[in-house]
Chain A
Amino acid sequence: MQQVNSDTPNDPAPSRWSYRFQRLMLTPLFRKVLRVGIPFCLTFAIAAGYLSDRDRQDSIRLAVADFRHQIETRPEFMINLLAIEGASPSIEEDIREIFPFDLPASSFDLDLESVREMIVGLPAVADADVRVRQGGVLVAEVSEREPVVVWRSHDGLALVDIEGVVTDELDARSERFDLPAIAGAGGNQDVPGAIAILEAAAPIKANVLGLVRIGERRWDLVLKEGQRILLPEENPVRALERVIVLSQVQDMLERDIVVVDMRLSDRPTLRMNERAVEDWWRVTKLTVGAQQQ
Chain B
Amino acid sequence: MIELYDSQRAMRNMRKAAMQRGVVAVLDVGTSKIACLVLRFDGTERLNDGEGVGAMAGQAGFRVIGAATTRSRGVRFGEIEAMQETERAIRTALQAAQKMANIRVDHVIACFSGASPRSYGLAGQVELEGHVVSEQDVSRVLSACDVPAYGEGREVLHAQPVNFALDHRTGLSDPRGQLGQVLSTDMHMVTIDAVAVQNLAHCVKRCDLELAGLASSAYVSGNAALVEDEQELGAACIDLGGGSAGVSIFIKKHMIYSDSVRIGGDHVTNDISMGLQIPQATAERIKTFYGGVVATGMDDRELIEIGGETGDWEHDRRTVSRAELIGIMRPRVEEILEEVRARLDAAGFGYLPSQQIVLTGGGSQIPGLDGLASRILGQQVRLGRPLRVHGLPQAATGPGFASAVGMCLFAANPQDEWWDFEIPVDRYPARSLRRAVKWFKDNW
Contacts and interface: CB of A to CB of B under 8 A. Distances in A.
Interface size of A as a range: 10 to 19
Interface in B191-235: 207-208
A26 B309 contact: no
Interface stretch (A17-25, A45-53, A244-252): A17-25
Interface stretch (A7-15, A67-75, A122-130, A264-272): A7-15
A23 B98 contact: yes
Contacts of A22: 95, 98-99
Nearest to A25: B104
Interface string A91-102: 000000000000
Given A1-B309, A23-B208, A28 B92 contact: no
Given A11-B88, A14-B91, A23 B309 contact: no
Contact of A26 (B70, B91, B104, B207): B104
Contacts of B70: 12
B376 interface: no
Contacts of A26: 98-99, 102-104
A217 to B, nearest CB: 81
A209 B299 CA distance: 144
B88 A13 contact: yes
A27 interface: yes
A23 B99 CA distance: 9
Nearest to A13: B88
Nearest to A29: B104
A43 interface: no
A12 B207 CA distance: 16
A20 B207 CA distance: 8
Contact of A19 (B89, B103, B207, B309): B207
A248 to B, nearest CB: 98
A2 interface: yes
Contacts of B91: 13-14, 16, 19
Nearest to A24: B104
Contacts of B208: 19-20, 23
A27 B99 CA distance: 11
Nearest to A30: B104
Nearest to B279: A2
Given A1-B309, A28-B103, A14 B92 contact: yes
A12 B68 CA distance: 13
Contacts of A20: 208
Contacts of B207: 19
A187 to B, nearest CB: 84
A33 to B, nearest CB: 14
A27 B309 contact: no
A16 B92 CA distance: 10
A14 B309 contact: no
A145 B309 CA distance: 119
Interface string B90-129: 0110110011001110000000000000000000000000
B189 to A, nearest CB: 36
A11 B99 CA distance: 18
Contacts of B98: 22-23, 26
Contact of B89 (A1, A2, A13): A13
B92 A12 contact: yes
A13 B104 contact: no
A27 B98 CA distance: 11
A13 B207 CA distance: 12
A208 B182 CA distance: 122
A159 to B, nearest CB: 84
- Residue among B88, B89, B104 with most chain A CB within 10 A: B104
A14 B95 contact: yes
Contacts of A28: 103-104
A28 B95 CA distance: 16
Contact of B92 (A2, A13, A23): A13
Contacts of A2: 309
A27 B92 contact: no
A277 B102 CA distance: 120
Nearest to B101: A26
Contacts of A13: 88-89, 91-92
A27 B104 contact: yes
Nearest to B103: A26
Nearest to B206: A16
A11 B70 CA distance: 11
B209 to A, nearest CB: 9
B35 to A, nearest CB: 15
- Residue among A2, A13, A19 with most chain B CB within 10 A: A13
Contacts of B95: 14, 19, 22
Contacts of A27: 104
Nearest to A20: B208
Nearest to A19: B91
Contacts of A19: 91, 94-95, 207-208
Nearest to A23: B104
Given A19-B207, A19-B208, A22-B95, 16 more contacts: A1-B309, A13-B89, A13-B91, A14-B91, A14-B92, A14-B95, A19-B91, A19-B95, A20-B208, A22-B98, A22-B99, A23-B98, A23-B208, A26-B98, A26-B104, A28-B103
Interface of B: 70, 88-89, 91-92, 94-95, 98-99, 102-104, 207-208, 309
24 contacts: A1-B309, A11-B88, A12-B70, A12-B92, A13-B88, A13-B89, A13-B91, A13-B92, A14-B91, A14-B92, A16-B91, A19-B95, A19-B208, A22-B98, A22-B99, A23-B98, A23-B104, A26-B98, A26-B99, A26-B102, A26-B104, A27-B104, A28-B103, A28-B104
Q: Which 8 A-B pairs have the closest CB atoms?
A: A13-B88, A26-B104, A13-B92, A27-B104, A19-B91, A12-B92, A14-B95, A23-B104
Interface of A: 1-2, 11-14, 16, 19-20, 22-23, 26-28
